[in-house]
């Protein structure tokens, strides 16, 4: 017990830790039933190409509206779902819902779905993807799975094999949040990615004159160009940022400037909008 230790600092610290653990426990209980209670939904954020300004597709982003806790951000509940081993179930629902929706969009529009490293460790994942594609009727090349480098850190060989089986289905892969973790160029030689997503923090820093961020974006773009794959700049909020990432050679961009993540009813209107306007400087 902290009290027995006789060090005042622990007495201050322990309640905070306790509250944190208790909060997590309560949140986890709510999370377990959230899907069944219909508290989860997907929001769709447009991804556009920086040259023509045309809509390339949408990224599906999971939303949890809890009657008890309000809007809980994915950065909060995804790690909980991973720890509680319910990410596979939630992730399968995300895939099914997003692919069913995307099947009704105009041909050529892609859907990007985030996949947790924990989902990839699950033996049934590839089968889930194949089943979802068959059920939705979405052609495999319109689905892009976004994985982070965390995938490779956990169980290196297993992840690479699973990703290869996903590629065999004809599904595309995107390397998300590139540059913020333990990015290694090795991943790019072991797995065939269709795009690299540059985290919004680099875009913001570079637009503010950050030399390191600028250098990193340049290097990633050069790398992607030599591998003949796309670069998607995330978190683009201003015209300055859009112009910068276009000038740096990022092929695609995503961010509030082009559209926030929207509920499904609004994506169809977006899909039909004249996207050529968004390229105008």
Binding interface with ligand C2E (CB under 6 A) = 45, 61-62, 73-75, 78, 91, 94, 114-116, 146, 176-177, 200, 234-237, 255-256, 261
State the binding partner of 75 from ligand C2E, Mg ion, none, CB within 5 to 8 A by kind: ligand C2E
Q: Mind giving me the DSSP string for 89-150? A: HHHHHHHHHHHHHHTTSPTT-EEEEE--HHHHHSTTHHHHHHHHHHHH---GGGEEEEE-TH
Closest among 239, 235, 221 to 279, alpha carbons compared:
239
- Lookup result for tokens 């003949």: 228
CA distance 280 to 277: 6
DSSP-derived pairing of the beta strands 252-254 and 40-49: antiparallel
Closest among 56, 34, 52, 17 to 259, alpha carbons compared:
56
Collect all residues with Cβ–Cβ distance below 8 Å to 208 and sequence separation of at least 6: none
State the binding partner of 255 from Mg ion, ligand C2E, none, CB within 5 to 8 A by kind: ligand C2E
H or E stretch covering 265: helix 264-272
Asked whether 195 and 153 are in contact (CB, 8 A), the reply is: no
Read off the tokens for 79: 């790690």
Contact string 248-277 vs Mg ion (x = CB under 5 A): ------------------------------
Q: Mind giving me the DSSP string for 61-82? A: EEEEEETTTEEE-HHHHHHHHH
Nearest distance in Å: CB 7, ligand C2E:
38
CB-nearer residue toward ligand C2E: 75 or 226? 75
Nearest distance in Å: CB 14, ligand C2E:
31
Nearest distance in Å: CB 78, ligand C2E:
5
Contact string 145-164 vs Mg ion (x = CB under 5 A): -x------------------
Of 114, 136, 162, 267, the one binding Mg ion by CB under 5 A: 114
Nearest distance in Å: CB 177, Mg ion:
4
CA distance 67 to 37: 10
State the binding partner of 52 from Mg ion, ligand C2E, none, CB within 5 to 8 A by kind: none
Nearest distance in Å: CB 34, ligand C2E:
13
State the binding partner of 207 from ligand C2E, Mg ion, none, CB within 5 to 8 A by kind: none
CB-nearer residue toward Mg ion: 101 or 234? 234
Tell whether residue 144 is a contact of Mg ion (CB under 5 A).
no
Nearest distance in Å: CB 59, ligand C2E:
6
CA distance 159 to 259: 33
Nearest distance in Å: CB 172, ligand C2E:
15
Positions that interact with Mg ion (CB under 5 A): 114, 146, 176-177, 197, 234
């Amino acid at each position: 017990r902290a009290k027995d230790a006789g060090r005042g600092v622990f007495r201050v610290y322990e309640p905070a830790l306790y509250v944190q653990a208790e909060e997590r426990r309560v949140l986890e209980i709510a999370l377990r039933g959230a899907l069944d209670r219909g508290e989860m939904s997907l929001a769709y954020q447009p991804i556009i190409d920086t040259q023509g300004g045309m809509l390339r597709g949408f990224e599906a982003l999971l939303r949890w509206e809890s009657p008890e806790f309000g809007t809980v951000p994915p950065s909060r509940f995804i790690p909980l779902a991973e720890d509680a081993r319910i990410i596979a179930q939630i992730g399968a629902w995300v895939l099914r819902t997003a692919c069913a929706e995307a099947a009704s969009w105009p041909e050529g529009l892609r859907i990007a779905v985030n996949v947790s490293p924990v989902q990839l460790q699950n033996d049934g994942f590839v089968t889930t993807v194949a089943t979802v594609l068959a059920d939705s009727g979405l052609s495999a090349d319109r689905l892009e799975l976004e994985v982070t480098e965390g995938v490779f850190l956990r169980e290196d060989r297993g992840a690479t094999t699973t990703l290869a089986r996903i590629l065999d289905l004809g599904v595309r892969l995107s390397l998300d949040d590139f540059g913020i973790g333990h990015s290694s160029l090795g991943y790019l030689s072991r797995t065939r990615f269709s795009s690299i997503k540059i985290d919004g923090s680099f875009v913001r820093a570079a637009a503010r004159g950050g030399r390191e961020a600028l250098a990193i974006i340049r290097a990633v773009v050069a790398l992607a160009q030599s591998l003949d794959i796309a670069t998607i700049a995330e978190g683009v909020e201003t015209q300055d940022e859009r112009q910068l990432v276009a000038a740096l050679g990022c092929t695609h961009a995503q961010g509030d400037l082009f559209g926030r993540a929207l509920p499904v009813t609004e994506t169809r209107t977006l899909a039909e909008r004249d996207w050529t306007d968004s390229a105008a400087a």
